[in-house]
Amino acid sequence: MKSGRVAFGRMEAVSFGVPLEEAAAEEAERLGAERIFLMVSGTLNRETGEIEKLRRALGNKVAGQFDSMAPHTPRRDVIAATDAARAADADLIVTFGGGSLTDGAKAVRMCLANDIRTPEEMDALRDPAAGPAIPQVSIPTTLSAGEFSAIAGVTDERAKLKELFRHPDAIPSAVILDPAPTAHTPEWLFLSTGVRAVDHCVEGVCSGEAHAYGDAQALRGLALLTQGLSRVKADPADIEARLDCQVGSWLSMAPLASGVPMGASHGIGYVLGAVFDTPHGHTSCIMLPFVMRWNRSANAERQKLVAAAMGEPKADAGDLLDRFIGGLGMPRSLSAAGVGREHFRKIAEQAMGTPWVPRNPRPIEGPAQVMEILEMAA
């Protein structure tokens, strides 16, 4: 008999299809915020009027702003943003942009709660004494869906390692899904982070620890994502398709948020991002189909659920994902991402230290098996 425990998170609301200015002002009012600190995309700030519209909607409650978070959320940028939020005496952080900002704000809130002031002191967040005390509202413009978890992924530049800081209170209080500003997101970024969300769905469903609650949402999310991403590729102005992708990315996090582990695609992806600066979406585009093929002997029945959700129940799920990702114009090999075989041993060794590779549905006992997957993806 299967057993488990689903712990519901502390997120209070998700708004979808409502203009972000209206939704952000409503959430700020609901949370009683008086000193709002914005963590926003530098590109959106410099090249569009989206940030100014948000500032106008929040009015004189905006107490400060940070727009310099680098990809993969390096510790140094988290500390810089923490210093700025501390100086602003923030009582709410609102993020507007991609996943690095979302995770950055979670980490900033943990730094504030634990009086962390240097990158080195962030070691203490591996087991934080206190959880975040101020809330976060996130407005994502990509689809990697980190706003729906209580985990902050941060890169330790000293070792070039992606680390995960966790606390139940780190999850945002609210998320605002407005498809309109995603039209500014570069096509490769929107589509590739959509594949990252597909990866959440697929590895959640195919996990040896999967359960019906996670399956129900992940399989529906997978259908919305694969159909929606194809429609956005065909017509970037299709706002309804963009919203379907956003809702699909939300549903994609149900397995992870309810205790189902990810697998080797995510684990290897963490290393590729931290060591080679490979965008997270691209790591999933490259690794997921090969991980599925490597895992097939252990979870073939689960993989059939994936193929059915994608509308081709008789197809091999790994091949189907490969064709789908290729149809979006995404990279399909490690060599296409500039990662050569000379790095495979290092990647494999570091991947064994991630939370997910040891919980892959087909057991991975050591680096040699990770290298088998890397060779398939070469």
What pLDDT, on the 0 to 100 scale, is given for residue 6? 87
CA distance 13 to 19: 15
Q: What is the pLDDT of residues 314-367, one digit of tens each?
A: 999 999 999 999 999 999 999 999 999 999 999 999 999 999 999 999 999 999
What pLDDT, on the 0 to 100 scale, is given for residue 262? 97
Q: What is the pLDDT of residues 74-114, one digit of tens each?
A: 999 999 999 999 999 999 999 999 999 999 999 999 999 99
The answer as to CATH 3.40.50.1970 being correct for domain 13-180 is: yes
Q: What is the pLDDT of residues 271-282, one digit of tens each?
A: 998 889 899 899
CA-closest candidate to residue 327, choices 232, 223, 207: 232
Calculate the average pLDDT of the chain.
Answer: 96
Is residue 166 classed exposed, middle or buried when 0-12, 13-18 and 19+ CB atoms within 10 A define those classes? middle
CA distance 254 to 5: 13
Ordered by start, the domain boundaries in the chain are 13-180, 186-377
What pLDDT, on the 0 to 100 scale, is given for residue 150? 94
Going by pLDDT thresholds of 50, 70 and 90, the confidence category of residue 162 is confident
Name the token pair of 164: 């995960």
Going by pLDDT thresholds of 50, 70 and 90, the confidence category of residue 7 is confident
Going by pLDDT thresholds of 50, 70 and 90, the confidence category of residue 69 is very high
- The dihedral built from the CA positions of residue 337, 153, 82 and 26, taken in this order, carries a sign that is positive
Residue pair 223/119 in contact (Cβ under 8 Å)? The answer is no
What pLDDT, on the 0 to 100 scale, is given for residue 160? 86
Residue 175, Cα to own-chain centre: how many angstroms? Answer: 13
What pLDDT, on the 0 to 100 scale, is given for residue 326? 97
Mean pLDDT of 251-257: 95
Q: Residue 1: how many CB atoms within 10 A of its CB?
A: 2
What contacts 63, CB < 8 A, 6 or more positions away? 35, 36, 37, 88, 89, 90
* This prediction's pTM: 0.94
Mean pLDDT of 250-263: 95
Going by pLDDT thresholds of 50, 70 and 90, the confidence category of residue 298 is very high
Percent of the chain with pLDDT over 90: 94
93 has which bridge partners? 37, 136
Higher pLDDT, 159 or 66: 66
**pLDDT higher than 90, residue 2:** no
Mean pLDDT of 19-45: 98
What pLDDT, on the 0 to 100 scale, is given for residue 275? 87
**pLDDT higher than 90, residue 1:** no
Going by pLDDT thresholds of 50, 70 and 90, the confidence category of residue 220 is very high
Mean pLDDT of 119-125: 97
Q: Which of 5-9, 125-129, 165-169, 251-255 has the lowest mean pLDDT?
A: 5-9
Same fold, 13-180 and 186-377: no
What pLDDT, on the 0 to 100 scale, is given for residue 317? 98
CA distance 75 to 158: 10
The superfamily CATH assigns to domain 186-377 is Dehydroquinate synthase-like - alpha domain (1.20.1090.10)
